[in-house]
A and B are shown apart, each in its own frame.
Chain A
Amino acid sequence: MTRSPAIAVEPRPGLSSPLPGRALTLGFTIFYLSVIVLLPIAALILRACHLSAAQLWALATNERALAAYELSLGASLIAALINAVFGSLLAWVLVRYKFPGRRLLDGLVDFPFALPTAVAGLTLANLFSEHGWLGRFLVPLGIQGSFTQLGVVIALTFVGLPFAVRTLQPVLENLDQSVEEASACLGAGRWRTIVSVIAPTLFPTVLTGFGLSFARALGEYGSIKFISGNLPRTEIAPVLMVTRLDQYDYTGAIAVALVLMLFSFALLFALNWLHAWAAKFQQS
């Protein structure tokens, strides 16, 4: 699961470790990383360098591609917002309240993470279809959940949910409740305490969870392939990339892939910055 970056604990400075295997393990790590991750990424960049920049730009920014980015970003944003709200609610309820079925609920939160995305797309598309358990009530009301942009949002919400909950949960567990007591003793009502004491403390963490679930949604493909029905209106960027590749349009696929990588690197950068900010925020 994607988590906040690990912070390396520095061994005592000035003392070299007496343990063996430094050259072996570090060498293997760098070799394996190079073969599996770095070489393939270099291949993409090398390939892109040999293509004409004008042609790449044209394929990355034509009407169809722009519509795909718009849906990708928009649907991921809505899904991440839903997850920020309901993920926070779930984390709060799981940490603060005792009720029957709490452990089951806690276990279920990880379910989207363990379930292959193809199965998620398959079952969600069916649930919201005309004859599905939810669709049979929603479709007569005009709420079409499968083969629509709403379906894309539903699937992206599903895959991103664990990130929002699991990011907030440990922070909420370690939250010092004496601050809330102090706030209550000073005469603040419960609502006032939540809005002006708890919410500001948790805000950076909620934002991190939002960012992680947004990043997860942006790259998602498997579940969308099932629920989007391969229609032009529901085409997200990863689906466009695969469609172009299937038509042997390598340049077109590379153009979309570069944009997707640009999005994910920008997000990675933002999340690292956010993590550092949240750590500083929690200390003060």
Chain B
Amino acid sequence: MNAPRAARSPNEEHSIVRWLLIALAGAFALVFLLLPLVNVFAQAFSSGLGPYWKAVTNKDTGSAIRLTLLVAAISVPLNVVFGLAASWAIAKFNFRGKALLLTLIDLPFSISPVVAGLLFVLLYGVNGLFGTWLTEHHVKIIFALPGIVLATIFVTFPYVARELIPIMEAQGSEQEEAALTLGASGWQTFWMVTVPSVKWGLLYGIILCNARAMGEFGAVEVVSGHIAGQTDTLPLRVDKLYNEFDPVAPFAVATLLALLALVTLGIKLFLEWKTRDEL
């Protein structure tokens, strides 16, 4: 057996092994993580600024940006309200079937996005369960904004709740009980005691929920109907431009989504640094 060497602790690999492992991990990350990111921007600007600008300021791209923002603006707040209600109910009270409720909240994570889209088509589509009623009353859900919003809410359903439940459980109820004893109302306690104490976790859940809401492809594609300028979100717009064999335009639109990803990662790192500081 090797005699212990003074140069390194017994818990360390030989420095050659160490650097080989770092190089291997770095090479893998370079090919699978860094190159795909850099490539989006390189391809988008491969013909210079002109074609890039033309693709990004195109009328249909503009309406795709507006639709994507609108869908996120509706679905994210709804999931935030749900996340706050669910985490309050689960963390502060005891009831039967709590484990089942937690499993059901996680369910959308394990269902393929395209199946999620199909679920809403079967419910609200022309041949769907409520299809006849909706047609008679001239309500359009599938191939229109409500369908896109519903599909987006489904795929982003667990994000905020999943982030808040463990935090609220760890914090317990003592602070809230103290506030109530001191005469605060239930709403005051919620807004002035509970929400501030979970604010970083809440923000974390919101940015992850938002990134997925703006970037969702499969579920939205199934319910959207691909009407240019009307039901195309940004990811669907990328797909449409890609199918037109344009070498620059899909990448130009994709840079907007890549920037969204980078901003999301930036805020995420900031929040992790912030909460580590507070602990």
A interface residues, Cβ below 8 angstroms from B: 1-3, 5-6, 8-11, 13, 16-22, 24-26, 28-30, 32-33, 36-41, 43-44, 46-47, 86, 89-90, 92-94, 97, 99, 101, 105, 107-112, 114-120, 122-124, 126-127, 132-134, 157-158, 161, 177, 180-181, 184-185, 187-190, 215, 218-222, 225-226, 238, 241-242, 245, 250, 253-254, 257, 260-261, 264-265, 267-268, 272
Contacts and interface: CB of A to CB of B under 8 A. Distances in A.
Chain A to chain B: the 7 pairs with minimum beta-carbon distance, closest first: A116-B215, A219-B112, A184-B10, A222-B217, A40-B119, A221-B218, A20-B186
B56 interface: no
A86 B25 CA distance: 7
B195 interface: no
B115 A241 contact: yes
B192 interface: no
Interface residues of B, number: 107
Contacts, number: 292
A190 B14 contact: yes
B2 A118 contact: no
B101 A2 contact: no
B107 A37 contact: yes
Contacts of B128: 43
Contacts of A9: 169-170
B39 A97 contact: no
Contact of B169 (A6, A226, A245): A6
B73 interface: no
B109 to A, nearest CB: 5
Interface in B1-41: 1-2, 4, 10-14, 18, 21-22, 24-26, 28-29, 31-37, 39-40
B118 A93 contact: no
A225 B215 CA distance: 15
28 contacts: A5-B106, A8-B99, A17-B94, A21-B186, A24-B85, A26-B95, A33-B105, A36-B153, A46-B129, A89-B24, A108-B33, A116-B214, A116-B216, A117-B235, A119-B254, A120-B36, A122-B40, A123-B39, A185-B10, A190-B13, A190-B14, A221-B218, A222-B113, A222-B217, A222-B218, A238-B218, A254-B118, A261-B111
Nearest to A89: B25
Given A21-B186, A221-B217, A43 B112 contact: no
B123 A29 contact: no
Contacts of A19: 92-93, 173, 176-177, 180, 186, 189
A93 B173 contact: no
A115 to B, nearest CB: 4
